[in-house]
Amino acid sequence: MGGLSPSPNQAGGLGHYSSVPIPLSYRALLPFIMNQSSENIVTRYSLSDDHTLSAVIKDLRAGGADRLAPRRRKLSRRVHSTKTSAYNQARQRLPLALLQAALAHVAAMLARMAGGESGGRTAPPPPRRTRQLLDGSTLAMLQTPGLAKEFSPGKNQRGNSGWCLLRIVVGFCAKTGAVLSATCGAQEHSEQAMAWSLMAHAEAFTVWIGDANFGVWSIAAQATRFHQDVLVRLSPPRARRLCAGRPLRSGEERWITWHPTRADQVPPGTERNPVAGRLIYVRLKRDRRWIDLWLFTTLPGGDYPIELLVRWYGQRWQAELNFRYVKTQLKMDVLHVGSAAMARKEFYAGLLAYSLVRATMWQAGERLEQPLAAISFSEARRLVLSRLKDWGRALCTRRLALSVWLRALCEEVALHTLPKRRQPRPNEPRLVRHRRHKFPPFRGSRAAARARYATTKSL
């Protein structure tokens, strides 16, 4: 597996592809997406800037899916209508299990591309361990009667917001940034409970890295049950309780036994037993501000020193950036759907497209374990979308070898590097400027609003 990755150059950490062969795992990844008509159309739909159904029909009529049809029966010549109803019915019939299986297949191939090992009888060495950055978020959907039955809308002191919320929990690969595991549900479900299901389906010896939201006993107990490990941050009150009145100095660690309290939830099938692990305290200075970092891990101390664990946890912020790419570049912050089934399909289809871009960036030389990212995600997304469109329209000759086509794509993606900053970017507060709107906010049902408007107008 060591020969699969391109050797980085001295300028920007990007590989030279004139002599480096494309690995078999990546050579099989794009054909898997390209040869499956459903995944190909859904992936390009998610990567596109225009997520309307009309854009898909225009692309089909322009020859975007001609290669998916048999020879001499181009799909563009058989699609005469510009209406979107047929495609809308087809995507509703698309099985959710198909998208989930495709995402799992891509995740397994990406894990092999990155050199990860899991599922064996003995734990692999630290560089070969599969590390997943665990984090959660929410996606908004305009409230409809069908969505409100499964995904309740958000509420505050002013009442119903009119937006249904889809809670998501994703495990990102610490090496490639791709999605290795994901689940979604109603906002009433806690992120910790949703993470239990991800751990139950993950391979043995997987290392889960999470913030203080996942620094609870149930996460450590679930990982221990399935022969996995955790590296999670602890909140100060929980860390003080685990210290048991014996404080730690910066850079020190202590083996403890984490006993569950009556308030701790228990995953189904997991016994209420204590979890043994290492309690670590490190005091760091960042931008003239001191940070007290409390960590708990079930990893042994021999091959996993404190410096390595702190560096691993420092990659956890990459999960926040990955969610930003998913929501802004793929425009998944708001799902324009009318049913719960389509919301789940849009979620998994978007993650499938995101992982495809990450796979291309990894092969082009992107290494997230380095201090700075090298390749622009937005430019990589545009290039992958453009090449997929050319492939669908059969603009790429069939005589062109697949390895040459993939190498050309990777070489072009590797050229779009991010500029090197002379000074580090300062940390900004997580705030946004409020923009006033001309009209007051809309709350409640439209029928009630129309009735109030009719009464006011008649007066």
Could you report the per-residue pLDDT of 55-82, keeping only the tens digit for each?
888 888 887 777 766 666 777 788 888 8
User: Does 266 or 156 have the greater pLDDT score?
Assistant: 266
User: What's the one-letter identity of residue 379?
Assistant: E
Q: Which whole-number Å values give the CA distances from 336 to 38, 152, 339, 346, in the listed order?
A: 20, 16, 10, 9
Whether 281 and 309 share a structural domain: yes
Whether 380 and 365 share a structural domain: yes
Whether 284 and 347 share a structural domain: no
Q: Is the pLDDT of residue 233 over 60?
A: yes
Residue finishing a domain among 315, 346, 372: 315
- Is residue 187 included in any domain, yes or no? yes
User: Average pLDDT, stretch 267-286?
Assistant: 93
Residues 6+ apart with CB under 8 A from 29: 106, 109, 110, 113, 356, 359
Indicate the pLDDT class of residue 12, thresholds 50, 70 and 90.
Answer: very low
Whether 203 and 242 share a structural domain: no
Whether 185 and 54 share a structural domain: yes
- Is residue 128 included in any domain, yes or no? yes
Average pLDDT, the chain: 83
Whether 189 and 328 share a structural domain: yes
Whether 148 and 124 share a structural domain: yes
Q: Is the pLDDT of residue 30 over 60?
A: no
- How many angstroms separate the CA atoms of 242 and 232, rounded? 14
Give the domain range for residue 275: 214-315
Give the pLDDT of residue 71: 64
| CA-based end-to-end distance of the chain | 77
User: Average pLDDT, stretch 134-143?
Assistant: 94
- Is residue 122 included in any domain, yes or no? yes
Strands 289-297 and 334-335: unpaired
Give the pLDDT of residue 49: 75
Give the pLDDT of residue 156: 75
Whether 253 and 366 share a structural domain: no
Q: Is the pLDDT of residue 15 over 80?
A: no
* pLDDT tens per residue, range 31-59: 555 555 555 556 666 777 777 888 888 88
User: Taking a C-beta distance cutoff of 8 angstroms, is the pair 361, 14 a contact?
Assistant: no
Whether 331 and 290 share a structural domain: no
- Provide long-range contacts, Cβ within 8 A and 24+ apart, for 372-378: 372/418, 373/418, 374/12, 374/13, 374/14, 374/417, 374/418, 375/14, 375/413, 375/414, 375/416, 375/417, 375/418, 376/416, 376/417, 376/418, 377/325, 377/329, 378/329
Whether 165 and 47 share a structural domain: yes
Give the pLDDT of residue 247: 87
User: Average pLDDT, stretch 116-131?
Assistant: 84
- Is residue 98 included in any domain, yes or no? yes
- Is residue 105 included in any domain, yes or no? yes
User: Does 305 or 366 have the greater pLDDT score?
Assistant: 305
User: Average pLDDT, stretch 451-458?
Assistant: 74
- Is residue 452 included in any domain, yes or no? no
Give the pLDDT of residue 275: 96
User: Average pLDDT, stretch 190-203?
Assistant: 95
Whether 107 and 60 share a structural domain: yes
Whether 87 and 156 share a structural domain: yes
User: Average pLDDT, stretch 270-277?
Assistant: 94
Could you tell me the pTM of the whole model?
Answer: 0.85
User: What's the one-letter identity of residue 107?
Assistant: A
Residue finishing a domain among 294, 315, 336: 315
Q: Is the pLDDT of residue 211 over 90?
A: yes
The dihedral of CA 170, 411, 331, 321: what is its sign? Answer: positive
- Is residue 436 included in any domain, yes or no? no
Give the pLDDT of residue 355: 93
* pLDDT tens per residue, range 342-384: 999 999 999 999 999 999 998 888 777 665 558 899 999 999 8
- How many angstroms separate the CA atoms of 30 and 237, rounded? 48
**Number of structural domains in the chain:** 2
- How many angstroms separate the CA atoms of 417 and 373, rounded? 9
Residue finishing a domain among 280, 315, 350: 315
User: Taking a C-beta distance cutoff of 8 angstroms, is the pair 355, 18 a contact?
Assistant: no
User: What's the one-letter identity of residue 263?
Assistant: A
Q: Is the pLDDT of residue 17 over 60?
A: no
- Provide long-range contacts, Cβ within 8 A and 24+ apart, for 95-100: 96/341, 96/344, 96/345, 96/348, 98/38, 98/39, 99/39, 99/42, 99/345, 99/348, 99/349, 99/352, 100/348
Strands 334-335 and 131-142: parallel
- Is residue 440 included in any domain, yes or no? no
